[in-house]
Chain A
């Protein structure tokens, strides 16, 4: 038996979370349809599957959305209840698995594509675009887009989970667990940067300076020929980290349009009873939050014909600018096994988290034991304000 946090179907809790979560401090955890349970460890008795003992598992924005009932019902068809959340996982192998001996420390590519499901590879998986797999509801596993949303595999918010060899990436020696837990979000940032289509000296806006925005900033600076990178940050520590990770300008949400306008020589318009927008602006904008405000900021600050990249799970927003300014809207979900020149996102991400600023950021990861999950969720909801970039569960901790 093991301890795990389990997300279950509960209409009253979902409604309460949707209403209060994120708005009223200290109640997000109370209202969440989440419970601490003692259950049988998940086990998949098929070749190349292995049991993992969790060391750290991060709390991501999509986890918070699910807990707070804010995730679009669009995703209800690609999850299986009840499930153990947690897809940012650092763990060690409890058994030998193919070429990996027991005790190997790994991070998890959470996407449950054709290979883990025991299926013949679909066209997307064959091309290495595993995050676009078309078979994520079938095969040997219950529906689930990722580990952490699938009832069969379990997730990182527990003492133990199961994973397929194709999902496992060995953590190099010398990396702390806190650094390693950032590899999965870093891989998403790598994918975001490569999907952003940045051309030499493009002016790029990153709207948001949580972990997604900060890591995207590093990826954009390291992997693309971006010129200026303007990061929208609310809090002091975010501003410092953004600069350390490659931002050329850091602005507050209140001043972003004005600053982009000045940097790009754009014109600013103020429509009636609506948000201001620019005629002109950045070449590429990355929404790294997913809120309506952040997405509209990205849309309104991008030049005609520019590109808006959805890195955070997007909320409903006014898309008038996308039509009027002929913007390219680009989604970026998770990461692909083959990103560029045959290299996978995890391979690139593993290199990038060695960056000094990421190592510094890793030191601020706030670990919680599973039984303090309400505090952890509340902390994660207010991470920016509380000076934290990443909150994680450490199931090994007792107090």
Chain B
């Protein structure tokens, strides 16, 4: 029986608490009275994954069973979430592989020959063959990749994009041509956080700049309260409008999955446990890992962390019509991640870990660290932000990993050139977004190499726009001072220093809340 998440109030007996900071972690003594929000323990998983998949495909929600949708001679496209999910990468076999294999078996049984698989990577980098193989499995990879039937979506291949129309708010809806012209589009999703899934899957994962610009912008993100709550998110409202336009023209069979929060394999599982419950073995693991990381060069630390494979368990799978399926998925995600928190605090403390959706096998550069902290974690709330308006956010990350030139070439220019001029998401978006979006070199690298699209760093900055608009102070503990300053923030050596610096904003005795993640949690702030 798993225990729900809860809020600890730090007192004299509370041991130092673990805080993630990039390629490492620290044990931090929090001031007395600090609220620490712990995620629930892993909830009950599906006992037989293959059977659950089969059940979902045969008894979908508000849809005919999949076998009834499959006809000989039809054109079938299977799209799936890319390498940005799950985090960390799921231990093989990936649940998407198991779903795709069953879908393909049913398609073969129905005599469907025209099948293609597409990674719905939107403006994310192209997946390497190895990454594709990890997601779809060796058999599927071998059958489809060599024939060019397992591909990355190319949002800049204008000959292979279809314009499906406009929403009632005049938003252009463009998706992958193969998907648009298929008789059936099966989408295989993993919903790790409530932001994922629903109409976001096809409407964003298979779209282009012409569509993305309508919701991936500063105004939308500032008005998404939060983007982790799709019913109060402007981002999702736009995606939902687009999804309905897509639904009028494309038959979408949505398969959504949710997973538990079993993110760290042994011997790193102490990272998920509550510190006062650490066994002797957990404490020994912590000390060993901490000592090892302290002496390991950054490259080795990077390898240690990025080679981790999460032993996720499947908590739910639903298939059928997009919206009802997504409601079921979100309910399961909330069951796993939601923690009730009473009221806001003056200061929010967040540890930014080594990994986010956009630095798989790559470096967590300062912009991605900001996106992770002020974007993903700050927005991990329902109701109202954990920190009050005008409060302070204290983040832990060294901001020292630099930029991966292969994956993030435009990030370097964004950091060196754009942020040097302004850190205001609205200002930089207005002046520079189109330049970066239309830059032929970035487009070339996105299409032929493994680079994120040129405009992607702007999206990361917009992701943090709500937080920047909401709080008055952002301080990075242990962060590189130049990097923090370039982004318009400040850096401190210790938590006490950071609190001292923030005292101008929140006073000398602020209320503090620390979100103890990962694993992912959503604060349900009352």
Contacts and interface: CB of A to CB of B under 8 A. Distances in A.
A268 B417 contact: no
A255 B414 CA distance: 12
Interface stretch (B235-243, B344-352, B437-445): B437-445
Interface string B394-432: 000000000000000000110011000000000000000
B441 A259 contact: no
B439 A262 contact: yes
Interface in A219-263: 255, 258-259, 261-262
Contacts of A266: 441
Sorted from nearest, which 10 A-B pairs have the closest CB atoms?
A267-B441, A262-B413, A265-B440, A255-B416, A265-B439, A258-B413, A261-B441, A268-B441, A259-B417, A267-B444
B412 A258 contact: yes
A44 B417 CA distance: 57
Contacts of B417: 259, 262
B138 to A, nearest CB: 34
21 contacts: A255-B416, A258-B412, A258-B413, A258-B416, A259-B413, A259-B416, A259-B417, A261-B441, A262-B413, A262-B417, A262-B435, A262-B439, A262-B441, A265-B439, A265-B440, A265-B441, A266-B441, A267-B440, A267-B441, A267-B444, A268-B441
Interface in A328-375: none
The interface residues of chain B, by DSSP majority, are classed as helix
Interface of A is mostly: helix
Interface residues of B, number: 9
Nearest to B441: A267
Interface of B: 412-413, 416-417, 435, 439-441, 444
A265 B444 CA distance: 11
B163 to A, nearest CB: 25
A255 B418 CA distance: 13
Contacts, number: 21
Interface in A162-200: none
Nearest to B417: A259
Interface residues of A, number: 9
A255 B435 CA distance: 18
B438 to A, nearest CB: 8
A268 B405 CA distance: 13
B439 to A, nearest CB: 6
A138 to B, nearest CB: 54
Contacts of A262: 413, 417, 435, 439, 441
Interface of A: 255, 258-259, 261-262, 265-268
A259 B416 CA distance: 9
Contacts of A268: 441
Nearest to B442: A262
A194 to B, nearest CB: 31
A131 to B, nearest CB: 39
A163 to B, nearest CB: 48
B297 to A, nearest CB: 24
B331 to A, nearest CB: 46
A268 B413 CA distance: 13
Contacts of A267: 440-441, 444
Contacts of B412: 258
A262 B417 CA distance: 10
Nearest to A254: B416
Q: Which of B412, B413, B435, B441 has the most CB of A within 10 A?
A: B441
Contacts of B416: 255, 258-259
A255 B416 CA distance: 9
Contacts of A255: 416
B428 to A, nearest CB: 14
B431 to A, nearest CB: 13
Nearest to A265: B440
Contacts of B441: 261-262, 265-268
Q: Which of A255, A262, A266 has the most CB of B within 10 A?
A: A262
Nearest to B440: A265
B458 to A, nearest CB: 14
Contacts of B435: 262
A253 to B, nearest CB: 13
Contacts of A261: 441
Nearest to A270: B405
Contacts of B413: 258-259, 262
A262 B440 CA distance: 9
Nearest to B416: A255
A258 B439 CA distance: 12
A309 B332 CA distance: 67
